[in-house]
Amino acid sequence: MVNIAVFVSGGGTNLQALIDAQTSGRLHSGRIRLVLASNPGAYALERAKNAGIPGVVCSRKELGSQGGFEAAISKELEAHGIELIVLAGFMSILSENFTKQWPERIINVHPSLIPSFCGKGFYGLKVHEAALSYGVKVTGATVHFVNEIPDGGRIIAQKAVEILPGDTPEVLQKRVMEQAEWVLLPHAVEQVAAQMEKERA
């Protein structure tokens, strides 16, 4: 089984989808060994605790520099024998220095159909605000590998979601999560972990 770390910053509903997939056996080629939060207030840490998964905090602000932040993350990853990283609503930036050490070993979920509404400044509700103000009729979610380009790594999976009249950013965010993110992310993580297992067999 592949040892997985999930990086979080907020509510952690995507983390919950991964935990549920693990419990039901839909995610069986990997195991979540660590939840790493960018801030101590992340509700995702409660979800980790409830599932009996170790949780740690690495805060960019508290650690002072990008180098110090990434050194602390690397230390945690090593201590837990992590082989695959999943960014599930992780709002801190990882530098090229870090991402190049994990080629096609970091997965991110983004709440739009990349290459629309992605890159610097597009995160969380802002993505849905941008989609609504542009007036697109279809949006969705993308799961992709992370490289040095923000939201620029190879795409693993995408799912389209309809925009309906009267949608607010909050309503749209919830629909994109329910119909796309919570389905796609566990599936993609299983796919990548299964491939990693196969390669080392």
Contact residues for ligand GAR, defined by CB under 6 A: 8, 10-14, 44, 88-89, 109-111, 123-124, 127, 177, 181
Tell me whether residue 28 is one of the annotated catalytic residues.
no
Asked if residues 132 and 172 have their Cβ atoms less than 8 Å apart, the reply is: yes
Enter the tokens of residue 32. Answer: 């979540």
- CB closest to ligand GAR, residue no: 89
**Active-site position among 28, 80, 110, 144:** 110
Asked if residues 65 and 44 have their Cβ atoms less than 8 Å apart, the reply is: no
Q: CB 200 → ligand GAR: shortest distance, Å?
A: 29
**What's the distance, Cα to Cα, between the start and end of the chain in Å?**
11
Q: CB 197 → ligand GAR: shortest distance, Å?
A: 25
Q: CB 118 → ligand GAR: shortest distance, Å?
A: 7
Asked if residues 5 and 86 have their Cβ atoms less than 8 Å apart, the reply is: yes
DSSP class per residue in 93-136: ---HHHHTTSTT-EEEEESS-TTSS-STT--THHHHHHHHHHT-
Residues noted as catalytic: 110
